[in-house]
Amino acid sequence: MKDARDALAEGYGHGTVCIADTQTGGRGRISGRRWEDEGKGSLLFTLILSKESVDVSYPLTQLLALALCIRLEEGFGLTPGIKWPNDVFVNGGKIAGILVETDGDYYLAGMGVNIQQTSFSGHFRHPAVSLAQVLSSMEQTPAVSLSPSRELMPLLEVIRKLLSGNPGIREIENRLTGLNRPVSLSIGDPARREILQGFIAGLQDDGALLVRSEDKILTAVYSGEIEALESR
C-alpha cells in the first residue's frame, strides 16, 4: 500500500502493480489485525485502479475476491468460498485476504494469497491454508511448480476481465461462505461488541450482507466481522 501511494505521487497511475516478496508492515481491514507472511511464500501485491474503471454497485473487495475464486476454480479445480466481507477460504482455511484503500481518484487494491507455504506458525483467528497445502491434500500435482510470481499474471487477467464485464452480485453470492447457515456477527465498530445473530440470507445488490433473524426479519449489514459460523 505504501509503495502504491508513493508510485501515485511519482506519476504512476491506473494499472500499476506493486509487488513484494515479503512484508514487515502488513495490516488488515480492522485495526490491530495484519496479514502475516514469513518470506517468499505469499503472493503480495497492490494494484492501482482508477475509480472510473470500477463500475459495480458493490465494494471492490468483493470483485477481487470473486476474481481469485475464479482463478482457483479454473486453474486448479478448487471450490473456494468468499467469507464476507474480504477473505477467501478453501477447505475451511483462509487462503487470501483483501484490503482496498483510496487515494484521490484511485483505488489501491491489495491482496495477499498463500501460495507455497507447507506450514504456518503463530495463532490466527481462522486457520490459514496455502495453495500448496490444498493441492497436496488432494494428491494433486500442478502442471508447473507453484510460485507467487507464476500466479500473478493469471489473476490480474481475471481481474481485468471482471472489470470490463461488470459481474453481478449473484456471482459473488453463489460463492458466499455460510449461505443459509447460522451466524454470529459483530457489526459496526468492533470495539462496541454489538452482536447480531441469525442466518446468512445472501447479499444485497450493493454488497451488504443480509442476515435473517429467527422471526424472519432481514438486516442489511454494511460493516462487520463474522465471529462464528455454525456448520449445520
Q: Are residues 130 and 221 in the same domain?
A: no
Domain count, the chain: 2
Assign residue 80 the CATH number of its domain.
Answer: 3.30.930.10
Q: Are residues 145 and 189 in the same domain?
A: no
SS3 letters for the chain? Answer: CHHHHHHHHCCCCCCCEEEECCCCCCCCCCCCCCCCCCCCCEEEEEEEEEHHHCCCCCCHHHHHHHHHHHHHHHHHCCCCEEECCCEEEECCEEEEEEEEEEECCEEEEEEEEECCCCCCCCCCCCCECCHHHHHHHCCCCCCCCCCHHHHHHHHHHHHHHHHHHCCCHHHHHCCECCCCCEEEEEECCHHHCEEEEEEEEEECCCCCEEEECCCCCEEEECCEEEEEECCC
- What number is the average pLDDT over the span 16-21? 95
- Give 154 or 225, the one with higher predicted confidence: 154
Confidence of residue 75 (pLDDT cuts 50, 70, 90): very high
The pLDDT of residue 35 is above 60 = no
Per-residue pLDDT at 22: 85
32-36, 47-51, 135-139 — which one is most confidently predicted on average?
Answer: 47-51
The pLDDT of residue 184 is above 60 = yes
Per-residue pLDDT at 140: 82
What residues make up the domain containing 82? 2-173
